Amino acid sequence: MAEKKIIAVIGATGAQGGGLVRAILNDPNGGFAVRAITRKKDSDKAKALAKAGAEVVEADLDDAASLKKAFAGAHGAFCVTNFWEHFNADKEQAQARNMADAARATGLKHVIWSTLEDVRRWVPLTDKRMPTLGGKWKVPHFDGKGSIDHVWNDLGVPTTLLLTSFYWENFIYFGMGPKKDKDGNLVLTLPMGNKKLPSIAVEDIGKCAYGIFRKGREFIGKRPGIAGEHLTGVQMATAFGRALGKQVSYKPLTPEQFRGLGFPGADDLGNMFQFYADYEVMFSGARGVESTRALNPALQTFDQWLAVNKDRIPID
Ligand SMILES: NC(=O)c1ccc[n+]([C@@H]2O[C@H](COP(=O)([O-])OP(=O)(O)OC[C@H]3O[C@@H](n4cnc5c(N)ncnc54)[C@H](OP(=O)(O)O)[C@@H]3O)[C@@H](O)[C@H]2O)c1
């Protein structure tokens, strides 16, 4: 039997990369093996990956030499940065450059770069609809990723630019789910007006990435976008209501109200939602549900995700 192609997975202990690790391990005859990259081989999550059958290797995105070692001998790599660890888009870009350099140095045959749009292509810094942040960004955690997309091509690395979507897990971990108002009624508040939000179960991002590695050459040089569904606030509130067995209503905030919520990153996320809403057709159009299902036939709907996760959503 041919030797398995190794996929080095950045963010293997996290949400996107973890889904890809599990997708590879769950398909032992698929022709791929997984190398899980982490800064901390001794963490519980890294140990669990090793126990599940992954090769676990230490590297740090801030340390180019460690990435070269970690990518050596691999067929491909899944590359993701974690903006929310440091809130610094310049740092994300330096990390992306380090990964691209390492990919070129080690001759990888296929990289997936987990990216998002550079919002400034649609909303230039001179556009007063939303504030400019940090002097040079509109949506820092989008712009930093999207405006470094070129580095892979510049270095001649065979790459798929994967446009991801809003995770439904944000309703669990990011405090974005329905909350009780002062009268005890459950209310979903998102600054989306009546526009549709392309969104996905994060585990499905990893499964789609696996589908892309399986299809291989067909996806090199492409920029596929993925989503589980495109849903309005009313549709999401109705689905929450069905799952929770309680009335849930949708109350759209304005982007200004959302930016004013004051938690770290509220301005970045307020601008993001405004971009989603103002560019609904382009943004959803770049993330077709049927093309996503073609990569990942097990793609979940929001109802299916809620059926499994409804008790994990903090609503008090
Ligand atoms: N939330 C959303 O709706 C959403 C939607 C689309 C895109 N995103 C983007 O997704 C990204 C985060 O991905 P995620 O949700 O999969 O992250 P996550 O679950 O928070 O996990 C972060 C992962 O990144 C690894 N990591 C972080 N810094 C590293 C470094 N310096 N060197 C090596 N590994 C490092 C961590 O590994 P160790 O700790 O084990 O080293 C961990 O596995 C963000 O940039 C965000 O903008 C989020």
Please work out whether the CB of residue 273 comes within 6 Å of at least one atom of ligand 1: no
Look at residue 80 in the predicted model and tell me its pLDDT.
99
Helices (H), ranges, the chain: 15-25, 44-52, 64-71, 83-86, 89-105, 140-146, 150-154, 170-173, 202-215, 233-244, 255-259, 266-278, 280-285, 289-295, 302-309
The ligand 1 atom at the shortest distance from the C-alpha of residue 12 is: 43
Look at residue 2 in the predicted model and tell me its pLDDT.
78
What pTM value is reported for the model? 0.98
User: Which mean pLDDT values do the consecutive 10-residue runs of the chain (316 residues) have?
Assistant: 92 98 98 98 98 98 98 98 98 98 98 98 98 98 98 98 98 94 95 97 98 98 98 98 97 97 96 98 98 98 98 91
Rama region for 193: left / alpha / beta (φ>0; ψ in -120 to 50; rest): left
Note whether 126 and 92 are within 8 A (CB). Answer: no
Please work out whether the CB of residue 172 comes within 6 Å of at least one atom of ligand 1: no
Mutate to test the pocket of ligand 1, among 22, 39, 43, 82 (most ligand atoms within 8 A of CB): 82
Going by alpha carbons, the residue nearest to atom 4 of ligand 1 is 166
Look at residue 1 in the predicted model and tell me its pLDDT.
59
The ligand 1 atom at the shortest distance from the C-alpha of residue 166 is: 3
Sign of CA dihedral 281, 287, 289, 290: positive
Please work out whether the CB of residue 175 comes within 6 Å of at least one atom of ligand 1: no
